[in-house]
Chains A and B, each alone.
Chain A
Amino acid sequence: MTYETVIGLEVHLQLSTATKLFCGCPAKFGAPPNSQTCPVCLGLPGVLPVLNERALEWGIRVALAFDCEIAQVMKFDRKQYFYPDLPKGYQISQYDQPLAQHGHLDLEAAGRAQRVRIRRIHLEEDAGKLLHEASQTQTCVDFNRTGVPLLEIVSEPDLRSPEDAYQYLVELKAVIEYLDVSTCNMEEGSLRCDTNISLRPAGEPALGSKVEVKNLNSFRAVKLALEHEARRQAIALDRGERLPQETRLWDAKGLKTEPMRSKEEAADYRYFPEPDLVPFVIDPSLVARARETLPELPAQRRQRYQEAYRLSGYDAQVLSQHRAFGELFEGALRAGAAPKPVANWIMGDLSAHLNARGLSPESVKLRPVWLAHLVQLVEAGTISGKMAKDVFAAMLERLVDPLQLVEEGGLKQIVDAEALERIAEAVLEANPKSVADYRKGKTNVLTYLMGQAMKQSQGKANPQQIAELLKRRLEQVTS
Chain B
Amino acid sequence: MTVVTPEIVRQVALLARLRLEGQALAQLAAQLDEILQYIQQLQAVKTDSVEPTSHVLPLSNVLRKDEPGACLSQETVLALAPATQRPFVTVPKVLET
Contacts and interface: CB of A to CB of B under 8 A. Distances in A.
Contacts of B64: 24, 50-53
Interface in A144-179: none
Interface string B51-68: 000110101111111111
Contacts of B63: 50-53, 56
A331 interface: no
Judged by DSSP, the binding face of A is loop
Interface in B24-82: 54-55, 57, 59-74, 77-78, 80
B84 to A, nearest CB: 9
A278 B70 contact: no
Contacts of A268: 11, 15
A270 B93 CA distance: 26
Contact of A34 (B59, B60, B78): B78
A141 interface: yes
Contact of B74 (A34, A52, A132, A278): A34
B23 interface: no
Contacts of A19: 66-69
B22 interface: no
A18 B68 contact: yes
23 contacts: A17-B66, A24-B67, A24-B69, A24-B70, A26-B68, A42-B72, A50-B62, A51-B62, A51-B64, A52-B63, A54-B65, A54-B66, A75-B54, A136-B93, A138-B90, A138-B93, A139-B91, A142-B89, A277-B62, A278-B55, A279-B60, A280-B60, A280-B61
A276 to B, nearest CB: 10
A131 interface: yes
Interface of A: 17-19, 23-26, 32-39, 42, 44, 50-56, 75, 80-84, 130-132, 134-143, 214-215, 249, 260-262, 265, 268, 270, 273, 275, 277-281
Interface in B82-97: 83, 85, 87-97
A120 B52 CA distance: 23
Contacts of B96: 249, 260-262
Contacts of A33: 74, 87-88
Lowest 3 CB-CB distances: which A-B pairs, in order?
Answer: A24-B69, A273-B54, A140-B88
Query: Which of B15, B59, B83 is packed against the most chain A CB atoms within 10 Å?
Result: B15
B19 interface: no
A117 B80 CA distance: 45
Contact of B69 (A25, A44, A273): A25
A143 B67 contact: no
A281 B60 CA distance: 7
A53 B65 contact: yes
Nearest to B17: A82
Contact of B97 (A44, A215, A277, A279): A215
A138 to B, nearest CB: 4
Given A24-B70, A83-B94, 19 more contacts: A18-B67, A19-B66, A19-B68, A23-B69, A32-B74, A34-B78, A34-B88, A34-B89, A35-B71, A37-B72, A50-B64, A53-B63, A139-B90, A140-B85, A261-B95, A265-B14, A275-B55, A277-B62, A278-B55
A18 B64 CA distance: 12
Nearest to A136: B93
Contacts of B54: 75, 273, 279
Contacts of A134: 85, 88
Contacts of B15: 80-82, 268, 270
A268 B13 CA distance: 12
A262 B95 contact: yes
A472 to B, nearest CB: 39
